[in-house]
Amino acid sequence: CRGPARRAGRPRCGPPARGRAGARAAGWRPEHSLLWGKVMGLWLSGNWRSELDRARLAAILPPERLRDLWPEDRSAGDPRAALDPGTLGRLAEALPRFPGIGTLPASASNAWTVDASRSASGAPLLASDPHLGFQAPILWYLARIDLPDGRMLAGATSPGVPFLVIGRNARLAWGFTTTQSDTQDVFVERLAGPDAYETPEGPRPFQVTEETIRVRGGDPVVLRVRETRHGPVLSDLEGMTGEGMAQESGTVLAVAMANLAPADTAAAGLQALNEAGSLAEARAAAALITSPSQNLMVADAAGPIGMLLTGRTPVRRAGDGTRPVPGWDGSHDWLGWVPFDALPHAVSPPGGALANANNRVAPADFPVFLGRDWIADWRFQRIRALLAAQPRHDAADFAAMQRDTLSPFAQALTGPGSLLRGLPPQPGATGTAQALLLGWDGDIAADRPQPLIFNAWLRRLGRLALAAGGVPEGGAAATSGFLQRVLAPDNAGAAWCAGDCPALAARALAEAVTELQASEGPDPAAWRWGHRHVARFEHPLFRFLPGLGALTRLEAATGGDEWTVSRGGLRGGEGPEAWSHVHGAGLRLVADLADPDGLLASRSPQCAESG
């Protein structure tokens, strides 16, 4: 047994699952640990897909409807590269999207901290629960190291990573959430013959790499990857040949990603964070973490707390990164990175508390541009309310907050003043469902019918509204902000409802109830969210093998949904499986710096560490 596992004192290297597959593990090498950081950078950033979607829909929808789906681009003099929506549509079909095979759901996380003045123990507290796609075994690996000189580390790492990712030492505790900064741009490259592309300095040949993927029982598959000065060519995935777009327009699409840029010091930064003994040292470590862009939540036993932004954010010559831009003339090239000290860090605020749930980290007029797209702050609103509910908290309070399933979003759409309350009573089972929603407190509990009715209603409403507004199927998601507009009591979303959003809302509720009756029975009062919202942990490979998939699968009924602190991310798609819980907190950690043993940590599922 070699590598980090042995150094951590855990020599088990041969899980039974590997033996059943007939596979042998290759030896560990240092670059494998570095690759983990690169993969996490890809998982935790994905803006380039939104750029392609925007460009496609800009040729289909009027500007006012595009603004409803995404924030309006208000930058002046931003030249656009003309792209054929048909070509972009074919590329969208070629690119796998969740919940397709081998894809991942969007990432999210929670983290918060309070200083000693807000802590029952008299020392800072910190909570962190990262949200990633579920699998068995889960990504996280719990570990503790104690040294004779009193130094210690405890928390969560990932197999193959020789440092703690989230956790604490004797003086410091830390956790992460994804910042949602825009660190990816799609560039339209003009071809200069079959093997080159245009640049401001003249034609340049593509850099070509051939990746050989070995297939057990079949012939190897060779993937030819072309790269420009900006990054890998995406449009080569269109039909897996790349000829369609190149022949039609003489262009290809390449994507620039900050996490693929050279001079990556993320591993050194994580090591420095593990060794840090103060907030100041954690800040120096954060400056070294070049990828991914994260909000590093830190609590210092000496008193200070802070939220420090990590990762490299590009400085653009022009544009705001929301759509593909010309790559041949240098007009939108990246000029460098935003200086670390210019990022919106927060240290020891007057209220003694900091929190983030992937919500916007700086006001709109902040001098540094981080991005245009932000996750709605529903989880942050609930965390803030829970922190404000009492003057001091202890570790048990923080652990309870991580399991909270009350949804401010549900309260906003079903509570006083909502469009739902203005609808006339509906007949039959639809009326029963309507009454249940009107009497609901917004708790997405597993043993209640309302969460299933609410989520089914919003899914149906989103599809109807997008179709009515002219969005092609799969062209955009019905985000919470979009649904709020459609359900605005003043009919502000009339353009998406053929002029009558109350009528569309009533229709969506009736259709959702009819659909649910087919699988849940005739009486909405007897339905239960936990019957369909089942957390599913599957082996990433064995789930495709007959027999082994069922043997390695773990399931449990759960509460929560996309907008609750205890996040219950949905599979999506069609049928009853759409409500499966496939994304959420695989790790929950709470640290109390009053005591070196002050750490609560749990993984989901609780299976063998090396399984």
pLDDT of 258 higher than 80: yes
Residue 567 lies in a domain: no
Domain limits at 56? 1-403+585-611
Give this prediction's pTM: 0.88
Residue 574 lies in a domain: no
Q: Read out DSSP for 437-505?
A: HHT---B--TT-SHHHHHHHHHHHHHHHHHHHTTPPTTSS---HHHHHHHT-TT-TTGGGTTT-HHHHH
pLDDT of 338 higher than 90: yes
Q: Do 386 and 499 have their domain in common?
A: no
Residue 566 lies in a domain: no
Round to whole Å and give the CA distance between 69 and 322.
Answer: 12
Residue 96 lies in a domain: yes
pLDDT of 77 higher than 60: no
Which comes out higher in pLDDT, residue 214 or 95?
214
Q: Do 386 and 440 have their domain in common?
A: no
Residue 525 lies in a domain: yes
Q: Do 216 and 309 have their domain in common?
A: yes
Q: What number is the average pLDDT over the span 432-459?
A: 98
Q: What number is the average pLDDT over the span 357-380?
A: 91
Q: Do 51 and 123 have their domain in common?
A: yes
pLDDT of 194 higher than 80: yes
DSSP state of 191: B
Q: Do 391 and 446 have their domain in common?
A: no
Last residue of a domain, one of 500, 517, 532: 532
Q: Do 313 and 374 have their domain in common?
A: yes
Lowest model confidence (mean pLDDT) among 288-292, 314-318, 550-554, 557-561? 550-554
Q: What number is the average pLDDT over the span 221-239?
A: 88
Residue 553 lies in a domain: no
Q: Do 360 and 454 have their domain in common?
A: no
pLDDT of 361 higher than 50: yes
Q: Do 362 and 445 have their domain in common?
A: no
pLDDT of 435 higher than 80: yes
Question: Of all residues in the chain, what percent carry a pLDDT higher than 90?
Answer: 66
Q: What number is the average pLDDT over the span 491-495?
A: 95
CATH of the domain at 346: 3.60.20.10
pLDDT value at residue 241: 45
Q: Give the pLDDT band (50/70/90) at residue 142.
A: very high
Q: What number is the average pLDDT over the span 152-173?
A: 94
Which comes out higher in pLDDT, residue 175 or 546?
175
Q: What number is the average pLDDT over the span 199-205?
A: 97
- 290-330 pLDDT tens trace: 999 999 999 999 999 999 999 999 999 999 998 899 999 99
Residue among 561, 176, 570, 118 at smallest CA distance from 378: 561
| Mean residue pLDDT across the chain | 87
Q: Do 214 and 113 have their domain in common?
A: yes
Q: Do 419 and 393 have their domain in common?
A: no
Residue among 309, 348, 327, 59 at smallest CA distance from 190: 327
22 contact partners, CB below 8 Å, separation of at least 6: none
Say how many domains are in the chain: 2
Last residue of a domain, one of 532, 567, 598: 532
Residue 2 lies in a domain: yes
Q: Give the pLDDT band (50/70/90) at residue 97.
A: low
pLDDT of 138 higher than 60: yes
Q: Do 277 and 425 have their domain in common?
A: no
Q: Do 2 and 144 have their domain in common?
A: yes
**DSSP-based three-state secondary structure for 576:** helix
CATH of the domain at 440: 1.10.1400
Inter-helix orientation angle 85-94/47-58, to 10°: 150
Residue 543 lies in a domain: no
Q: Identify the sign of the CA torsion 352, 355, 360, 361.
A: positive
- Where does 354-449 have alpha helices with state H? 378-388, 395-402, 408-414, 428-438
- 376-399 pLDDT tens trace: 899 999 999 999 999 999 999 999
